[in-house]
């Protein structure tokens, strides 16, 4: 199967500091791929660069086109979507408006269908549709951020730390929905500190340390790797 | 002072305040969306007013030519920025916006005045000319700087103000101009006399505010503009181009500026540099609104108008001083109330 997203030989620097060094990664259609690693390993930097938020060196192709020099907006149009760590919601606008803007590039008739699907995935958002995004709880904000991204009908959804700071019950809910997305034909690239949950749901996994991939393979194998167990799975995570 | 004078001063203040409110709202809008403090707003006022006055007098305004020249430059900028992905569709679209549009407007502005068109046609043409200048100004001066700091944008803004004011002197001369009123009707209510022009000021101000409210509350592009103002990165992540939001903001600001100018020019004589001072009063209102609050800005603008009319009655030599002094207590209060804000980086 050909890769939907292919990142090859990518490096990202903040000034003289190289946060990501010569990294290559692939996400195929209908696949959940996860990148796990400690805080500061460069996971968020990698996702931001793949989306065009940060400049990078190397090649990024998406759905057969070279996107490495495209603007964020053009990558969105190509079907790539990022739910960033800080969610970047429109805090002073309603849940409904946030979702509507998620479909900014989509025809209104299709947007209405997307909205029904998003409300189906996240019934809580429908209950709160008139509420301002800034007044939602952390879990609801994460749902809204994912819902907003899904409104644009992306081919690949990149999730940056969706479980960060959320109660375990909500984390379980969010991971269940990530699984449902795969069934619906959306590929997911998931960056997580919560390695246990991420490896439990993913098809394949990459382990990142100090800006480099140190291990990759099927998620079930990575989860059994001794070094991974010792570093990331040997103790129970708080979230 | 008797009641008649009091009422008269209030009426005068509210009329001017309505204009300042429009300008203040445009300033808040542009700042929220692009982080540009729009000093050339004053030139949009002057250009709108004097273009309208020139057209009404049967002349061809130089601003129509300026719009075409700016369009050509903007077209060059646009081609340069998309040189790596040059599609025919993009070039044609750019040519339509940046060349065909101002060329048609210039042709109309050259041909129409000799045929004595009505007030409505002259107003529409003036608005089109100033709208083109506003749009192209963003493309030329601000879009390439969109990622820089507020300070850099402010310096560019001052530069644009000086350049456009210079063009204003070239096009319209140092003599002031007046335009024909929108309506000759007069109404009396007790001691007060309402001219058709002042009624037009109230009516158009209210209609514009209602239109803006509908635009921002209910349309996709209006919401996209608000989204850009609330969270620039979030907006980009859903595919809203910062440059598109900036263009719409500048388009709205230039049209609002031009409408204000057209509303004022039948009441007072406008010179090539008058707009700056009028724009600054809108700015005072916008500052009182903290450059974020639309309702506060509108209310502050009415207060500015009333303070101005009373101070021109009691101490006309100091009227500008008094109006601009309004800013001081507001700045002091704000600096005491708010902690130091770090500039947004993106």
Q: How confident is the model at residue B289 (pLDDT cuts 50, 70, 90)?
A: confident
> A168-198 burial string, b = 16+ CB within 10 Å, else e?
eebbebbbebbeebbeeebbbbbbbbbbebb
- Is residue B346 pLDDT above 70, yes or no? no
- Per-residue pLDDT tens digits for A200-228: 999 999 999 999 999 999 999 988 888 88
How distant, in Å, are the alpha carbons of A106, A120, B68, B221 from that of A113?
A: 11, 11, 44, 20
Which residues in chain A have Cβ-Cβ distances shorter than 8 Å to B238? 76, 101-102, 104-105, 148-149, 151-152
Find which of A9-18, B253-262, B318-327 is predicted with most confidence, using mean pLDDT. Answer: B253-262
Measured between alpha carbons, how far is A133 from A136 in angstroms, rounded to an integer? 6
Instruction: Pick the residue from chain B with its C-alpha nearest to A89.
Output: B234
- Comparing CB atoms, the residue among B220, B224, B231 nearest residue A88 is B231
> Quick check: B56 and B119 in contact, CB under 8 A?
yes
Measured between alpha carbons, how far is A184 from A212 in angstroms, rounded to an integer? 32
Measured between alpha carbons, how far is B188 from B169 in angstroms, rounded to an integer? 39
Instruction: Pick the residue from chain B with its C-alpha nearest to A149.
Output: B238
What's the average model confidence in pLDDT over B285-300? 88
Cross-chain Cβ contact A92/B239 below 8 Å: no
Find the DSSP H helices in chain A.
Answer: 43-51, 72-78, 95-102, 108-121, 123-127, 138-151, 168-183, 195-201, 219-224, 226-228
Residue B346 within any structural domain of the chain: no
> Quick check: B304 and B285 in contact, CB under 8 A?
yes
CA-closest candidate to residue B263, choices B133, B135, B123: B123
Mean pLDDT of all residues belonging to chain B: 90
Measured between alpha carbons, how far is B334 from B343 in angstroms, rounded to an integer? 16
- Is residue B290 pLDDT above 90, yes or no? no
According to the model, what pLDDT value does residue A237 have? 47
- Per-residue pLDDT tens digits for A168-202: 888 998 999 999 999 888 999 999 988 888 999 99
According to the model, what pLDDT value does residue B180 have? 87
Which residues in chain B have Cβ-Cβ distances shorter than 8 Å to A92? 226, 230
CA-closest candidate to residue B176, choices B310, B272, B105, B99: B272
Measured between alpha carbons, how far is B313 from B330 in angstroms, rounded to an integer? 24
Cross-chain Cβ contact A152/B223 below 8 Å: no
CA-closest candidate to residue B302, choices B284, B279, B276: B284
Measured between alpha carbons, how far is B22 from B297 in angstroms, rounded to an integer? 9
- Is residue A238 pLDDT above 50, yes or no? no
Instruction: Pick the residue from chain A with its C-alpha nearest to B240.
Output: A73
Does B220 contact A at CB distance below 8 Å?
Answer: yes
Residues in chain A: 239
B125 Cα distance to chain centroid: 16
Q: Which residues contact B92 (CB under 8 A, 6 or more apart)?
A: none
Q: How confident is the model at residue B342 (pLDDT cuts 50, 70, 90)?
A: low
Let me know if A19 is exposed, middle or buried by CB neighbors in 10 A (0-12, 13-18, 19+). buried
Measured between alpha carbons, how far is A159 from A34 in angstroms, rounded to an integer? 9
Lowest mean pLDDT among A76-90, A222-236, B269-283, B286-300: A222-236
Measured between alpha carbons, how far is B27 from B42 in angstroms, rounded to an integer? 11
Residue B344 within any structural domain of the chain: no
Q: What is the CA radius of gyration of chain A?
A: 17
According to the model, what pLDDT value does residue A228 have? 83
Q: Positive or negative CA dihedral for A197, A85, A22, A76? A: positive
Residue B291 within any structural domain of the chain: yes
Joined together, the tokens standing for residue A59 give 């090649």
Cross-chain Cβ contact A152/B226 below 8 Å: no
- Comparing CB atoms, the residue among B84, B231, B236 nearest residue A73 is B236
Measured between alpha carbons, how far is B229 from B194 in angstroms, rounded to an integer? 39
What's the average model confidence in pLDDT over B244-252? 95
Q: Positive or negative CA dihedral for A29, A31, A37, A39? A: positive
Does B231 contact A at CB distance below 8 Å?
Answer: yes
- Is residue B117 pLDDT above 90, yes or no? no
> Quick check: B172 and B47 in contact, CB under 8 A?
no
What percent of chain B is predicted at pLDDT more than 90?
A: 68
Let me know if A93 is exposed, middle or buried by CB neighbors in 10 A (0-12, 13-18, 19+). buried
Tell me how crowded residue B75 is: count the other CB atoms within 10 A of its CB. 19
Residue B304 within any structural domain of the chain: yes
What's the average model confidence in pLDDT over B212-241? 93
Instruction: Give me the interface pTM, i.e. the ipTM.
Output: 0.92
Lowest mean pLDDT among A169-178, B48-57, B184-193: B184-193
- Comparing CB atoms, the residue among A92, A108, A152 nearest residue B239 is A152
Which residues in chain A have Cβ-Cβ distances shorter than 8 Å to B243? none
According to the model, what pLDDT value does residue B227 have? 95
Does B84 contact A at CB distance below 8 Å?
Answer: yes
How distant, in Å, are the alpha carbons of B118, B119, B174, B232, B262 from that of B183?
A: 12, 9, 28, 43, 13
Residue B117 within any structural domain of the chain: yes
Joined together, the tokens standing for residue B9 give 């001063």
Cross-chain Cβ contact B234/A82 below 8 Å: no
Q: Which domain holds residue B110?
A: 3-178+190-336
- Per-residue pLDDT tens digits for A44-53: 999 999 999 9
Measured between alpha carbons, how far is A48 from A56 in angstroms, rounded to an integer? 10
- Per-residue pLDDT tens digits for A154-170: 999 999 999 988 888 88
According to the model, what pLDDT value does residue A61 have? 94
> Quick check: B326 and B284 in contact, CB under 8 A?
yes
According to the model, what pLDDT value does residue B168 have? 95
Number of domains in chain B: 1
Q: Are strands B192-195 and B186-189 parallel, antiparallel or unpaired?
A: antiparallel
What percent of chain A is predicted at pLDDT more than 70?
A: 97
Q: Positive or negative CA dihedral for B291, B292, B296, B302? A: positive
Which stretch of DSSP H or E encloses residue B3? helix B3-34
Pairs of CB atoms within 8 A across A/B: 67
Measured between alpha carbons, how far is B48 from A204 in angstroms, rounded to an integer? 62
Measured between alpha carbons, how far is A238 from B15 in angstroms, rounded to an integer? 62
According to the model, what pLDDT value does residue A235 have? 52
According to the model, what pLDDT value does residue B341 have? 56
Which residues in chain B have Cβ-Cβ distances shorter than 8 Å to A80? none
**B223-227 long-range contacts, CB within 8 A, separation 24+:** B223/A93, B223/A97, B223/A100, B223/A101, B224/A101, B224/A104, B225/B29, B225/B33, B225/B249, B226/A90, B226/A92, B226/A93, B227/A90, B227/A93, B227/A97, B227/A101
How distant, in Å, are the alpha carbons of A206, B5, B96, B226 from that of B215?
A: 47, 39, 25, 10
Joined together, the tokens standing for residue B326 give 């309004």
Measured between alpha carbons, how far is A222 from A179 in angstroms, rounded to an integer? 19
According to the model, what pLDDT value does residue B167 have? 96
């Amino acid at each position: 199967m050909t890769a939907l997203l292919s990142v090859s030989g990518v490096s990202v620097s903040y000034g003289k500091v190289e946060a990501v060094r010569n990294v290559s990664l692939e996400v195929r259609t209908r696949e959940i791929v996860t990148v796990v690693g400690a805080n500061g390993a460069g996971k968020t930097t990698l996702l931001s660069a793949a989306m065009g938020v940060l400049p990078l060196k190397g090649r990024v192709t998406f759905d057969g086109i070279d996107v490495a020099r495209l603007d964020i907006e053009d990558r969105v149009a190509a079907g790539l979507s990022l739910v960033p760590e800080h969610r970047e919601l429109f805090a002073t606008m309603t849940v409904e408006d946030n979702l509507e803007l998620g479909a900014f590039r989509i025809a209104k008739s299709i947007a209405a269908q997307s909205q029904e699907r998003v409300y189906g995935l996240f019934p809580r958002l429908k209950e709160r549709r008139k509420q301002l995004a800034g007044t939602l709880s952390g879990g609801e904000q994460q749902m809204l951020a994912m819902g907003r991204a899904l409104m644009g009908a992306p081919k690949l959804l990149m999730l940056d730390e969706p479980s960060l700071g959320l109660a375990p019950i909500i984390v379980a809910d969010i991971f269940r929905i990530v699984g449902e997305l795969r069934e619906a034909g959306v590929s997911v690239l998931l960056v997580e500190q919560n390695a246990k949950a991420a490896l439990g749901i993913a098809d394949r996994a990459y382990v990142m340390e100090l800006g480099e991939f140190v291990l990759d393979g099927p998620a079930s194998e990575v989860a059994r790797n001794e070094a991974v167990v010792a570093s990331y799975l040997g103790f129970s995570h708080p979230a | 002072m008797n009641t008649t004078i009091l009422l008269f001063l209030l009426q005068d203040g509210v009329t001017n305040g309505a204009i300042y409110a429009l300008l203040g709202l445009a300033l808040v809008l542009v700042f929220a969306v692009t982080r540009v403090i729009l000093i050339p707003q004053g030139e949009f006022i002057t250009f709108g007013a004097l273009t309208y006055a020139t057209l009404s007098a049967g002349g061809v305004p130089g601003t129509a030519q300026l719009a075409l020249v700016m369009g050509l430059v903007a077209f060059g900028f646009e081609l340069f920025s998309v040189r790596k992905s040059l599609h025919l569709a993009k070039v044609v679209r750019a040519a339509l916006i940046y060349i065909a549009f101002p060329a048609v407007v210039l042709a109309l502005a050259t041909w129409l005045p000799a045929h004595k068109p009505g007030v409505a046609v002259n107003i529409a043409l003036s608005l089109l000319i100033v709208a083109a200048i506003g749009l192209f100004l963003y493309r030329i001066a601000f879009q390439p700087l969109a990622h820089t700091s507020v300070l850099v944008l402010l310096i560019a803004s001052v530069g644009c103000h000086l350049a456009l004011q210079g063009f204003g002197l070239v096009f319209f001369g140092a003599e002031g101009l007046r335009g024909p009123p929108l309506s000759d009707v007069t109404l009396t209510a007790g001691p007060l006399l309402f001219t058709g022009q002042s009624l037009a000021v109230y009516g158009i101000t209210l209609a514009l505010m209602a239109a803006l409210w509908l635009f921002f509350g209910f349309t996709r592009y209006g919401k996209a503009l608000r989204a850009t103002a609330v969270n620039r990165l979030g907006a980009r992540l859903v595919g809203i181009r910062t440059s598109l939001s900036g263009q719409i903001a500048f388009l709205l600001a230039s049209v609002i500026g031009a409408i204000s100018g057209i509303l004022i020019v039948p009441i007072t004589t406008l010179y090539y540099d008058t707009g700056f001072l009028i724009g600054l009063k809108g700015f005072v209102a916008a500052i009182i609104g903290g450059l974020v609050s639309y309702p506060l800005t509108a209310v502050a603008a009415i207060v500015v108008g009333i303070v101005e009319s009373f101070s021109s009655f009691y101490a006309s030599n100091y009227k500008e001083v008094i109006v601009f002094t309004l800013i001081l207590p507001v700045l002091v209060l704000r600096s005491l109330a708010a902690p130091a804000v770090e500039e947004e980086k993106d």
